Amino acid sequence: MSTWQDLVTASLIGTERAPVPPVRIPGLPDPAETLLDPAETLLDPAETLLDSAALLTAARRAGRPAGHAEPLAAAGPDPRPLVSPAAGSRLARMLSGEHPDLLTEWLAAVVDRGVRVPAQLVPGLLDRARRVSPADPELRRLAASAGGPRARWLAGLNAEWTFVTADAPAGEDAWRLGDAGQRRGYLTALRATDPGGARDLITASWDAAGAAERAMFLSVLAAGPALGPADEPLLEGALGDRADDVRSWAAYLLAGLPGSALGRRMAGRARRSLRLEAGPRGTRLIASPPAECDASMRRDGLAPGPGAGRSQLADRTHLLLEVVARTPLRTWTDSLALGPAAIVAVLSGDWAPVLFVGWSRAAIAQRNQDWMAALINEALTGRPPAMPAENGALSQLARRADPAIGAPDALAGPEPGAPLAVRAAIRVLRFRYEMLKELDVGYSHG
């Protein structure tokens, strides 16, 4: 007897050329006794075919048997408590595009607290991590760690997420045999647990490493725990490196290293450039930027000025900014005998934007929370930002400052009509404060 497939074949060829096969409908009498035998009906063959197909379709759909499946091995248990519902929806918001740049900070906090993210958000998290550059594996590492056994289980099902399990070469193999991302991952982990060991490894590998890798070494130091005096010789040496990138990383790191020779050289330049002066309208900061950029300044990472058209800042203004950005912040509190909040509030006229940007960079590089708080407070309540670089600096401060600044009782809401950059900074600080606070409450075990 004919089957559904015979009907389909006849319909493909067409009833003009193919005969309509008689079909038996399960549960109905044989076609010889029904209208559906083409030989017995007066219907057009096309009508017979469609009518048979309709009956058979209903019968096939209704009589569909269940199939069989190959069960998957279940994911391993994850004993870590689940983040609070508020934290879960916070992650969903970040994955759907809200403050995506804060995801790394949030994940690091999740991993740090030993909690896990809601299972249903793991695919979105892995998709986000997949799209970042493989040479910067931090987000991937954090996503895999926060996702835990469920992330590893999913990675086994979807080839796009193999990075979760592929960062496999562990220990020294990762360093000897791994790709750039794996070497970076190994070095980052080593620096976190054994800063001296990591420094020795960098020193030993320095000469054989290419320029991109030397820059990577220094960027790992920048992202890791605070530098110490023992790191200085390595960095001083790197100031003379062939590659621009390596030199500027070295200068940046030395500027943030307490007591470094570079910091002392910068402080000397800075003290010559800026002084307090009591005047009839109160105390003012008077700036006299460096006149030129000599060889020693260049070696310390100071560039001779922006290329034409890149910035509205004149060369000397730019030099002042670079010097301030690399000067140990204690220089100012010591030499001006004022606290950070007082210093940033001193009137400095047209120099105010330059000083704000310079101090902001210094505060971030030197991880100085007092200065960050003073600068944010100044930007939020004092003189509004006057140039684009100030907006950028404020935006960076809002992302690097202690999130406690964003507490509702610590941070006043934006004044009506406040500049956009100020409102954005307040929103970032609030967001960071809330996202971290949510991680410290309401875990459900199980």
Partner 1 sequence: MAERWDRARVLALATDPASQRAAQALACGGSWPLTGAAGGNALWGECQGTAATPYRTAIELSGPAYRCSCPSRKSPCKHAVALLLLWADGAVMVAHYAPPAWAAGWLNTHAAESSNAPAKDPAEPADPKAALRRAEQREERVASGLAELDRWLCDQVRQGLAASQQAGYRHWDDIAARMVDAQAPGLAERLRALAAVPHSGPGWEGRLLAEYALLRLLAVAYREQAALPPPLRDTVRSRIGFTVRRADVLAAGRPVRDHWQVLGRRDLDQERLRVRRVWLRGRTSGRHALVLSFAAAGQSLDDSLTVGTGADAELVFYPAAIPMRALIAARHDEIRLDPPPGEEVAELLASWAKALGEDPWLDSWPAVLAATPARSPGPCLFDASGDALPLHPGAGGCWTLFALSGGHPLTVAGEWTPRGLWPLTAWDEGGMAVPL
Residue 431 within binding range of partner 1, rule CB under 8 A: yes
C-alpha separations of 219 from 192, 197, 216, 364 in Å: 14, 16, 5, 15
Interface stretch with partner 1, choices 44-52, 276-284, 312-320, 369-377 (CB under 8 A): 44-52
By CB under 8 A, the count of residues binding partner 1 is 72
CB of 30: closest distance to partner 1 in angstroms?
A: 20
42 binds partner 1 (CB under 8 A): no
Name the residue nearer to partner 1 (CB basis): 11 or 369.
11
* Closer Cβ to partner 1, 73 or 208, answer by number: 73
Quick one: tokens of 115? Answer: 């909690």
Here's the x/- map for partner 1, 15-34, by CB under 8 A: it reads as xxxx----------------
d(CA 84, CA 79): 15
Q: 88-114: string of b/e by CB count within 10 Å (b at 16+)?
A: bebbbebbeeebeebbebbbbbbbebe
- In sequence order, which residues have a C-beta less than 8 Å from that of residue 251 and are 6 or more positions away? 239, 262, 300, 301, 302, 326
Can you tell me which of 281, 308, 416, 445 binds partner 1, judged by CB under 8 A?
A: 416
Beta carbons of 107 and 143 less than 8 angstroms apart: yes
Amino acid 292 reads: E
Contact residue for partner 1 among 49, 91, 155, 324 (CB under 8 A): 49
Name the segment binding partner 1 (CB under 8 A); options: 39-47, 173-181, 294-302, 318-326: 39-47
Site residues for partner 1, window 68-87 (CB under 8 A)? 68-75, 82
Identity (one letter) of the amino acid at 88?
G
If the CB atoms of residues 51 and 200 are measured against partner 1, the closer one turns out to be 51
Segment lying near partner 1 (by CB under 8 A), choices 54-62, 133-141, 270-278, 346-354 = 54-62
Q: How far is the CB of 340 from partner 1 (least distance, A)?
A: 25
Residue from 11, 283, 335, 396 touching partner 1 (CB under 8 A): that is 11
Which residues in 98-157 contact partner 1 (CB under 8 A)? 98-99, 118-123, 149-150, 153-154, 157
DSSP string, 218-271: HHHHHHSSPP-GGGHHHHHHHTT-SSHHHHHHHHHHHHTSTT-HHHHHHHHHHH
Decide if residue 306 touches partner 1 (CB under 8 A). no
Using CB under 8 A, which residues numbered 192 to 221 contact partner 1? none
Q: Counting contacts by CB under 8 A, is residue 63 touching partner 1? A: yes
Question: What value does the CA radius of gyration of the chain take, rounded to a whole number of Å?
Answer: 34
Give 153 or 186: the residue with its C-beta nearer to partner 1.
153
Closer CB to partner 1, 333 or 396, in the complex: 396
What whole-number distance in Å separates Cα of residue 250 and Cα of residue 252? 5
Letter for the amino acid at 420?
A: L
Among the listed residues 28, 32, 39, 46, the single contact to partner 1 using CB under 8 A: 46
Phi, psi of 96 (to 5 degrees): -95, 15
Question: Which range, of 61-69, 235-243, 344-352, 367-375, touches partner 1 by CB under 8 A?
Answer: 61-69
Structural contact between residues 178 and 137, judged by C-beta atoms closer than 8 angstroms:
no
150 vs 269, beta carbon nearer partner 1: 150
Crossing angle of helices 211-223 and 180-193, rounded to 10°: 40
CA distance 228 to 222: 12
For residue 311, the cross-strand partners are none
Shortest Å, Cβ 29 to partner 1: 17
CA distances from 119 to 77, 81, 105, 108, 213 (A): 12, 12, 20, 18, 36
By CB under 8 A, is residue 321 in contact with partner 1? no
**Given the complex with partner 1, which of 64 and 281 has the nearer CB atom?**
64
Q: Which residue lies nearer to partner 1 by CB, 52 or 260? A: 52
- Which stretch, 265-273, 319-327, 359-367, 422-430, contacts partner 1 (CB under 8 A)? 422-430
CA atoms within 13 A on the CB side of 42: 0
Binds partner 1 (CB under 8 A): choice among 114, 259, 413, 442:
413
Q: Using CB under 8 A, which of 8, 135, 192, 347 touches partner 1?
A: 8
